[in-house]
A and B are shown apart, each in its own frame.
Chain A
Amino acid sequence: SQTIHQWPATLVQPVGSPLSLECTVEGTSNPNLYWYRQAAGRGLQLLFYSVGIGQISSEVPQNLSASRPQDRQFILSSKKLLLSDSGFYLCAWRPGTHSNQPQHFGDGTRLSIL
C-alpha cells in the first residue's frame, strides 16, 4: 500500500534562517505531489505542485521554493525565512492518472519562526 512520510514533525527556526522540509511517497510511481500551508485557524493554501521529476508549478509568489529531485521526493525550501512563513505545512500525493482520485496527506510539519 502507499504511504507518505513528511519530516520533521515540528520545527522552530529564527527569522532569516534557511528551511528544508522533505516529503517522500512509497508504494506508487509517478505521483502528483503537492505542498500546502495552513495558517493557524485558517484553510489550506496550495503552494506548489508537481506532475513529474523536475516539474514544479507555483501557485503563490513567496520566498519559498520547491524541488522534485526524484520521482517520489518533494522538498520545500527557503533561503531566508520570514515571520509570515509560520504555519502548518502539509505534503500530499495522488496517482498521476485518474483525475477523480483523492489526494492523500502526510502528517504535516508545524513551523514556528522566532
Chain B
Amino acid sequence: AQKVTQAQTEISVVEKEDVTLDCVYETRDTTYYLFWYKQPPSGELVFLIRRNSFDEQNEISGRYSWNFQKSTSSFNFTITASQVVDSAVYFCALSEAKNAGNMLTFGGGTRLMVKP
C-alpha cells in the first residue's frame, strides 16, 4: 500500500529565508507519480508540480525547486527567499499507475508560516 509522510507538521521562518519541506513516500509500484499542492488560508488546493517516477531530473520554477531522489524515496520542496505570500499548508501526494481510480494518497501536510 502506498504512503506519504511529511514529518514536519509546522515550520516558521522569517521572510527571505530559504526553507525545505520534506516528503517521503512508500510504494510497491514501479511506475508512480508525485505531486505537490499548496493550500492557502482561503482553502482551495493549488497544484504546483508533478514528477514521474522515471524522471529524476530536479526542477526549478522561479523561487521553487524540487529534489526527487528515488534512492531515498524522497521528493523535497525548497522555497528560496521565502515571502509572506508563501504562507500556506503544503501537501505532497502520490498516485500509483496501477491505481484503478487514479487516487491520490496525501501526506499530512506541512504548515509554513513566513513572518515579515
Contacts and interface: CB of A to CB of B under 8 A. Distances in A.
Interface of A: 32, 34, 42-44, 46, 49, 51, 57, 59, 88, 90, 92, 94, 99-108, 110
Contacts of A43: 91, 106-109
Given A44-B91, A102-B35, A107 B44 contact: yes
Contacts of B71: none
A94 B43 contact: no
Q: List the 9 shortest-distance A-B pairs measured between CB atoms, nearest first.
A: A105-B45, A43-B108, A49-B101, A102-B47, A44-B106, A108-B43, A100-B33, A107-B44, A99-B102
Contacts of B45: 44, 90, 92, 105
- Output the residue of B52, B100, B102, B109 with the most chain A CB within 10 A: B102
Nearest to A45: B106
B102 A107 contact: no
B33 to A, nearest CB: 5
A108 B46 CA distance: 12
Contacts of B42: 107
Interface string B83-115: 000000001000101011111101111000000
A86 B38 CA distance: 22
Given A43-B91, A43-B109, A44-B91, A99 B44 contact: no
B107 A106 contact: no
Contacts of A92: 45
Contacts of B37: 105
Nearest to B95: A99
B43 A107 contact: yes
Contacts of B97: 99-100
Contact of B44 (A42, A57, A102, A105): A105
